[in-house]
Amino acid sequence: MGTPAKAWPPLSPFQTGTRGRCPRCGQGHIFNGFLALRRECEVCGLDYSYADPADGPAFFVICFACVPSVVLALWIEARFAAPFWVHLVTSLPFMLLTCIPPLRPLKGWLVASQYFYKAGESRLKSGVSSPS
10-49 positions binding Zn ion, by CB under 5 A: 22, 24-25, 28, 41, 43-44, 46
Report the nearest approach of Zn ion to the CB of residue 93 (Å). 36
Report the nearest approach of Zn ion to the CB of residue 21 (Å). 8
Report the nearest approach of Zn ion to the CB of residue 53 (Å). 18
* 99 burial type by CB count under 10 A (0-12 exposed, 13-18 middle, 19+ buried): middle
Q: Which residues pair with 47 in a beta bridge?
A: 40
Closer CB to Zn ion, 1 or 128, in the complex: 1
3-state class of 127 per DSSP?
A: coil
How many CA atoms, within 13 angstroms, populate the side-chain half-sphere of residue 69? Answer: 20
Binding site for Zn ion (CB under 5 A): 22, 24-25, 28, 41, 43-44, 46
